[in-house]
């Protein structure tokens, strides 16, 4: 019998963890409500007025919550002091590494991107990337008044899992990518900057942005899908991002699907093809090229997608993409009983609405007896999802009420500490 990794759960909890958790529950309630009185928050969080009062005092002192004046609720009674999150109370730096670009952004506590640096380039060797990103981080921090820099929650890094894989399907050169497979970028960036770095794969990071700042303010359970050069995803269950034992839960790119019916698709090398080969903008571009339509940049692809009447190449790819997504989503529904799917994309031109309509129709035809169809939603951030997701990691990790705070259980974002003090 093979050796088994021993349990990581099973740790008790204490009252410091409890206070910590309740503070975050109050922040969450305020993030969801937008503005609220202490009584509203106590009701929403299931806490006593007293403990909410103490928590709000602390959060105000930290600058995370501010008073926006009194408001009368209903017809009678005293007007209540209304509270809201202060966007200036914290900020984070996000680094999105992609196979074809690097983006570095500064984001406030309200989830707004305040500044950015970008590099459109095939990802360079790891040490070159560390230097580049370190300079960007320094320049983004230099714009922040020195007194405000203590509000930095940390740096978040989002990068595709296994950068050196799937290069054939993504039509990329293999040269420098292989160097990335054994390179710990978050660790190197932590060392270079002296700051705390949080890392997740790009699908989970974008899902966390959607959870913290997007649809997650209304729904607690969704599969998040991002259609980019590759297809990425993340899994939100009971209000938390499911990390998975190796950090790759929600990696729908690798889900098995039948081979593509498009003549432009590469022949599968194994009994099943993977979703990545069919449902990705790389597959779309490949099919456009096969039809003699050149569209290299995302802007060019969006332009082709927006053409009316729809080019035949686009319709053919959408059909093939939907046919590939149907068994993947049927698996999601039956395996994790998932009622909602949020889809976002790096382009638009009407693509998302059409995908959602077609998927809805195709799932109606394909869903087995007694299996409910999921509801589809458009994602909130489009091409910003990756960079915002990266920057959300430190904010989510520091300010979200994850049950692992209480239990010490699995599922935490990987964190590299390099105290700046």
Tell me whether residue 25 or residue 298 sits nearer to a copy of itself (CB atom): 25
Tell me whether residue 18 or residue 150 sits nearer to a copy of itself (CB atom): 18
Measured distance CA(147)–CA(150) in Å, rounded:
7
- Label each residue of 388-407 as H, E or C: HHHHHHHHHHHHCCCCHHHH
Considering the complex, what minimum distance in angstroms separates the CB of residue 388 from a copy of itself? 21
Tell me whether residue 106 or residue 215 sits nearer to a copy of itself (CB atom): 215
Tell me whether residue 123 or residue 141 sits nearer to a copy of itself (CB atom): 123
Measured distance CA(321)–CA(186) in Å, rounded:
33
φ and ψ at 349, to 5 degrees? Answer: 65, 30
Considering the complex, what minimum distance in angstroms separates the CB of residue 362 from a copy of itself? 8
Tell me whether residue 101 or residue 408 sits nearer to a copy of itself (CB atom): 408
Considering the complex, what minimum distance in angstroms separates the CB of residue 357 from a copy of itself? 13
Do residues 68 and 51 touch, judged by C-beta distance below 8 A? no
Q: What angle do CA 169, 175, 178 make, to 5 degrees?
A: 80
- Report the phi/psi class of residue 46: left, alpha or beta, with left for phi > 0 and alpha for psi in -120 to 50: left
Structure tokens at 420: 């700046």
The number of beta carbons lying within 10 Å of the beta carbon of residue 48 is 10
Considering the complex, what minimum distance in angstroms separates the CB of residue 290 from a copy of itself? 24
Q: What angle do CA 175, 178, 183 make, to 5 degrees?
A: 135
Considering the complex, what minimum distance in angstroms separates the CB of residue 53 from a copy of itself? 13
Cα dist from 2 to 5, 9, 245, whole Å: 10, 21, 17
Strands across the sheet with 80-85, in order?
A: 35-36, 80-85, 65-71
Measured distance CA(180)–CA(149) in Å, rounded:
31
Tell me whether residue 311 or residue 350 sits nearer to a copy of itself (CB atom): 350
Considering the complex, what minimum distance in angstroms separates the CB of residue 14 from a copy of itself? 7
Measured distance CA(50)–CA(159) in Å, rounded:
43
Considering the complex, what minimum distance in angstroms separates the CB of residue 89 from a copy of itself? 20
Tell me whether residue 7 or residue 75 sits nearer to a copy of itself (CB atom): 7
Measured distance CA(401)–CA(67) in Å, rounded:
22
Residues forming a β-bridge with 159: 201
Tell me whether residue 62 or residue 375 sits nearer to a copy of itself (CB atom): 375
Tell me whether residue 92 or residue 253 sits nearer to a copy of itself (CB atom): 253
How would you classify the pairing of strands 152-159 and 197-201? Answer: parallel
Tell me whether residue 301 or residue 395 sits nearer to a copy of itself (CB atom): 395
- Dump strand ranges (E) for 249-350: 256-257, 273-274, 340-345
Helix H or strand E encompassing 95: strand 91-98
Tell me whether residue 122 or residue 375 sits nearer to a copy of itself (CB atom): 375
Considering the complex, what minimum distance in angstroms separates the CB of residue 386 from a copy of itself? 20
Measured distance CA(370)–CA(385) in Å, rounded:
35
Considering the complex, what minimum distance in angstroms separates the CB of residue 307 from a copy of itself? 27
- Dump strand ranges (E) for 180-230: 197-201, 222-227
Considering the complex, what minimum distance in angstroms separates the CB of residue 261 from a copy of itself? 13
Considering the complex, what minimum distance in angstroms separates the CB of residue 115 from a copy of itself? 32
């Amino acid at each position: 019998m093979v050796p088994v990794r021993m349990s990581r759960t099973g740790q008790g909890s204490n009252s410091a963890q409890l206070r910590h958790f309740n503070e975050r529950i109050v922040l969450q309630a305020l993030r969801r409500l937008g503005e609220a009185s202490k009584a509203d928050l106590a009701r929403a969080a299931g806490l006593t007025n007293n403990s909410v009062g103490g928590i709000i005092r602390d959060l105000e002192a930290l600058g995370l919550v501010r008073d926006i004046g009194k408001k009368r609720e209903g017809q009678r009674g005293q007007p209540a002091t209304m509270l809201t999150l202060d966007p200036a109370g914290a900020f984070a730096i996000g680094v999105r590494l992609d196979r074809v670009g690097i983006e570095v952004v500064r984001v406030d506590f309200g989830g707004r991107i305040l500044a950015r640096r970008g590099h459109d380039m095939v990802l360079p060797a790891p040490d070159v990337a560390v230097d580049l990103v370190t300079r960007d981080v320094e320049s983004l921090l230099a714009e922040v008044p020195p007194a405000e820099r203590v509000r930095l929650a940390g740096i978040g890094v989002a990068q595709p899992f296994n950068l050196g894989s799937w290069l054939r399907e993504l039509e990329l050169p293999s040269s420098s990518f292989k160097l990335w497979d054994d390179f710990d970028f978050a660790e190197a960036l932590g060392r270079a900057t002296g700051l705390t770095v949080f890392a997740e794969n790009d699908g989970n990071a974008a899902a966390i942005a959607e959870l913290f700042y997007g649809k997650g303010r209304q729904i607690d359970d969704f599969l998040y899908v991002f259609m980019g050069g590759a297809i990425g995803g993340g899994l939100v269950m009971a209000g938390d991002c499911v990390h998975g034992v190796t950090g790759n839960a929600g990696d729908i790119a690798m889900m098995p699907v039948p081979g593509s019916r498009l003549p432009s698709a590469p022949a599968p090398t194994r009994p099943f093809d993977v979703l990545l080969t069919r449902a990705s903008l790389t597959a779309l571009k490949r099919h456009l090229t096969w039809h003699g339509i050149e569209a290299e940049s995302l802007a060019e692809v969006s332009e082709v997608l927006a053409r009316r009447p729809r080019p035949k190449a686009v319709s053919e790819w959408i059909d093939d993409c939907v046919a590939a997504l149907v068994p993947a989503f049927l698996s999601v529904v039956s395996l994790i009983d998932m009622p909602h799917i949020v889809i976002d994309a790096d382009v638009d031109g009407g693509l998302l609405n059409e995908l959602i309509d077609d998927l809805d129709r195709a799932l109606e035809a394909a869903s087995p007896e007694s299996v409910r169809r999921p509801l589809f939603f458009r994602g909130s951030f489009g091409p910003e999802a990756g960079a915002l997701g990266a920057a959300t990691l430190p904010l989510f990790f520091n300010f979200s009420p994850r049950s692992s705070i209480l239990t010490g259980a699995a599922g935490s974002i990987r964190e590299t500490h390099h105290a700046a003090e």
